[in-house]
Chains A and B, each alone.
Chain A
């Protein structure tokens, strides 16, 4: 027991003295938090400016501020403008050369060219200078993806159709605002702002678990490999047995993971609080019991990942070769990172359910699901049981790898050794 305690103390001391540990623990999350706060602030601002909510069709045909726009209409198509569009929207030019000269001279910001064969080809070109696509579509004139991208199709359509009533119907034949909706079954109540915050949680949670699990277990592997490389392991194994060394390292690194978790979760709570403030809604509340499940999944997930890394560290001659195993652990976590928003859209869909039951992706996927929606209890228990069983099996396997023979060997790392190393008898 005393030996285990000495290993814990030593490993904690060594890692806490590493500058990289503190950089990753404090600086990187601080930067990501600042970035997320900025995003939440921007999203909140956008949400407030669009407080009427989403309409299923492009009904928000409100003309946003437009720069001076030229028009070269070789098809002689644009005779009138629809009533809701100002008559002086376009500065007309007789030919493209004149419009180009005006654009280059800065007299106009864009010009629209409708070629003579428009009816056959359907092409319209907008000429611009230093054009950039902006997510909010502002300051993009009448280009595609701009907030006024509906203007050109509407003007052209208006001039092609003689009948005004038909034109209005063609623009939006079944307007959502004029459709009287009847839901035959009561849908679960959703609050748009809470959904926004759930979206933020679904993005942050997989990253949090990714860093905690992969980095925490990587520290363990690096610690084992470093002691092999600098031959400290040879001296250590004279006075303690490999199992004591493994347990000591596992506990020391789990302590560090908890320290990181505290720093990051604190930051996460701060972000969610700020997000709620920016969106002007009540603070995001995790479902009851969430914290208990989150801690359980973190502990078991860490034990599983750490045992795999401990085994890799025991047989790898250096950190670079041992790092190959990290790929094995990162791959199952990637889908949750990539498709976090899918967890909010359909938390009980096939992908979230499969990912939250598969032991290597369960810690991150199940906790993300639990954070954003209710999960059937049987799924939580099944996932937890599978994770606990897998973690136990891998700890037993890691203990087999953690033998003096492997710890003192500098044989090159290979997958065959990883697959068969545990079979060797003492």
Chain B
């Protein structure tokens, strides 16, 4: 047992001290921040923030009301013009981006005129002008009624099976499982990659033959798996803390982030699925490392294997269209893709309980089998003294032949 802990401790310290590990751990949160920043920049650059003008022949609009709108500072500025000629001059001088003209019969008729240079105003700009007109139309009503009619109902959906609440204002709760899925997937794949490199590398340079003179193969692989799992969890904790710190810092400035609720259900699913998935992918890597003669051969096989784990990511467009698509249900149940698929589906709705249950049972059963088979392949690979194990020989070693 002492050897087991010794190997786990050594593997943990060796992994977290590697420059590559430190760089990747820091690079992911920093990269995400950079991408979000770039996204905001792109969004900001493309925006036309020039005011919108209007000419009101119906005397419906009171330009003093614009300042009374909620979040008036964040909205596009709306300017009144006394006549169309002045408004069009401002438009041609590119002082405004569009000019609405309300006829004298407004609102008996909703026909209006719209002037712009080349492109009509965007939907967002149009909405801002609509809100302004609405405020004017409701100006005689009691304040409470006015507010309710302007803001409209805040509609939330409560699922009676999972007891989860989905709402437009809580969209961040929909997005979070996506971010978490990518981080979890990345940490799992990185950890298993280290596993493959270490085991195949030590097999290639024969260190492993020296080690098995003092420890059993079970202690060796178990210790390495535990050490690398601890390293992966360290990485995930850092990611998690980075996200929490980011949310705490940003929440006061972004109202949407204030709607975040701790996703206990999601955390429960992660707790249930992460360890068996990590064990499954690690066992597969041990099997590959045990079967191949060189690290490079192992990396080629692992590249193919990763494909079976990352399939749900390539199918994200289908997931968005319909999270309950038969293909998605298949990937929910298939052991290599179950964790990632459930994690991705979580944000978009309720994953039926039976699917979660069946998927977990299949995952655990497959993991148990693969761990057992990997130990046999690894043992058979050790006896081959640097020679790669053929598929036939690997299958024979599983059968115990």
Interface residues of A (CB under 8 A from B): 18-20, 23-24, 28, 31-32, 35, 38-39, 42, 56-57, 100, 103-104, 118-120, 122-136, 143-145, 149, 152-153, 156-157, 160-161, 165-166, 168-170, 172-176, 178-188, 222, 226, 229-230, 318-321, 324, 327, 331, 334-335, 338-339, 342, 345-346, 349-351, 414
**Bound-complex Cα distance A161 to B138 (A):** 10
Interface residues of B (CB under 8 A from A): 19-20, 23, 27, 31, 35, 38-39, 41-42, 45-46, 88, 91-92, 100, 107-108, 110-123, 126-127, 129-130, 133-134, 137-138, 144-145, 148-149, 151-161, 164, 166-168, 174, 197, 294-296, 299-300, 303-304, 307, 314-315, 317-318, 320-324, 348-350, 352
B144 touches A119 (CB 8 A): yes
**Bound-complex Cα distance A136 to B323 (A):** 11
For A104, A173, A184, A334, the residue with the greatest tally of chain B CB atoms inside 10 Å of its CB is: A173
Known: A56-B126, A174-B110, A350-B45. A153 touches B152 (CB 8 A): yes
B153 CB contacts on chain A under 8 angstroms: 118, 122-124, 152-153, 156
**Bound-complex Cα distance A13 to B383 (A):** 31
A144 touches B123 (CB 8 A): no
Given contacts A23-B304, A132-B324, A160-B145, list 14 more A-B pairs with CB under 8 A: A20-B303, A57-B130, A122-B153, A123-B154, A125-B155, A134-B323, A135-B320, A153-B155, A180-B113, A183-B117, A183-B118, A185-B117, A339-B38, A349-B45
Known: A23-B304, A119-B145, A129-B159. A144 touches B126 (CB 8 A): no
B321 touches A184 (CB 8 A): no
Known: A56-B123, A157-B149. A133 touches B314 (CB 8 A): no
A39 touches B317 (CB 8 A): yes
A342 touches B130 (CB 8 A): no
Among all A-B residue pairs, the 6 with the closest Cβ atoms: A132-B349, A173-B133, A187-B118, A20-B300, A169-B107, A124-B153
Instruction: Give the nearest-CB partner of B20 in chain A.
Output: A324
A174 touches B321 (CB 8 A): no
B156 touches A126 (CB 8 A): yes
**Bound-complex Cα distance A183 to B118 (A):** 6
Task: Among B115, B122, B129, point to the contact of A182 (Cβ < 8 A).
Answer: B115
B126 CB contacts on chain A under 8 angstroms: 56-57, 174, 176
A181 CB contacts on chain B under 8 angstroms: 114, 116, 120
A32 CB contacts on chain B under 8 angstroms: 314
Please give the distance in Å from A292's CB to the nearest CB on chain B. Answer: 29
B314 touches A35 (CB 8 A): yes
**Bound-complex Cα distance A136 to B348 (A):** 13
**Bound-complex Cα distance A170 to B100 (A):** 17
B300 touches A18 (CB 8 A): yes
Instruction: Give the nearest-CB partner of A124 in chain B.
Output: B153
B299 CB contacts on chain A under 8 angstroms: 319
A133 CB contacts on chain B under 8 angstroms: 166, 174, 323, 348-349
Known: A136-B321, A180-B111. A174 touches B120 (CB 8 A): no
A414 CB contacts on chain B under 8 angstroms: 19
For B117, B145, B157, the residue with the greatest tally of chain A CB atoms inside 10 Å of its CB is: B157
B322 CB contacts on chain A under 8 angstroms: 132, 134-135
For B19, B130, B303, the residue with the greatest tally of chain A CB atoms inside 10 Å of its CB is: B130
Known: A132-B323, A143-B155. A342 touches B160 (CB 8 A): no
